[in-house]
Amino acid sequence: MYPADLKYTKDHEWIRVDTDAADVGITDFAQQQLGDVVFVELPQVGRVLSQGEVFGTIESVKAVSELFSPVAGEIVAVNDALTSAPEQVNADPHTAWIIRVRTSNPSDLDALLDAEAYTQHVG
């Protein structure tokens, strides 16, 4: 269910760390709770985030939810495709990344949950 190559926050974001940058999105549990996503408010590229900082909002028909950065770092890209097709978050939550961050503090990852721990967290 929850891919083993991702790390997770208790606030239901995931992060996929590549060599130089990490993609951040919301989990399948989060998209189920939200229902039909209709709007993703993306941040400015270049913004520097601290761990746990709010970087945007995601809205479904029925609710608004804040997005928290799993790690500290600079935003190097945002997924503009979500502006016209926010429903990708529902259709494929663990692929539909929202921001790409150049992480500044690798040890931030140590505080995150692995797939097994996250599965227990939402179970």
Partner 1 sequence: MVDTQTALKQTPLHATHLGHRARMVAFGGWDMPVEYSGISDEHLAVRTRAGLFDVSHMGEIEIAGSDALAAVQQISANDASRLAIGQIQYSALTTEQGTFVDDLLVYRMADDHFLLVVNASNIDKDFAWIRTQVQPFADAPAVNTSSRYALLALQGPAAVDVLQTLTATPLADIRYYWFEPGEIAGVRGTISRTGYSGEDGFEVFVPPAHAPAVWQAILHAGASAGVVPAGLGARDTLRLEASMRLFGNDMDETTTVLEAGLGWVVGWKKPTFNGAGVLRAQKANGVTRTLVGIEMVDRAIARHGYPVLLDGQPVGVVTSGTQTPFLKKAIAMAYVPADLAQHDRELHVDVRGRLAAARIVPMPFYKRPRS
Residue 44 interacts with partner 1 (CB under 8 A): yes or no: no
Q: Are 86 and 40 in contact (CB under 8 A)?
A: yes
Q: Which two tokens stand for residue 52?
A: 């746990």
The verdict on 81 binding partner 1 (CB under 8 A) reads no
Largest CA distance in the chain: 37
Query: Which of 2, 35, 3, 6 is closest to 18 using CA atoms?
Result: 6
Please pick, from the candidates 50, 83, 95, 107, the single residue that binds partner 1 as defined by CB under 8 A.
83
Q: Does 5 bind partner 1 (CB under 8 A)?
A: no
Q: Which of 60/88 has CB closer to partner 1? A: 60
Does position 3 bind partner 1 by CB under 8 A? no
What is the distance between the alpha carbons of residues 22 and 48, in angstroms, rounded to a whole number? 14
As measured in angstroms, the least distance from the Cβ of 5 to partner 1 is 28
57 binds partner 1 (CB under 8 A): yes
> Measured between alpha carbons, how far is 21 from 73 in angstroms, rounded to an integer?
9
Residue 123 interacting with partner 1 (CB under 8 A) = no
Q: Is 35 in the site for partner 1 (CB under 8 A)?
A: yes
Note the residues at the interface with partner 1 (CB under 8 A).
Answer: 35-36, 38-39, 57, 59-62, 64, 83, 90
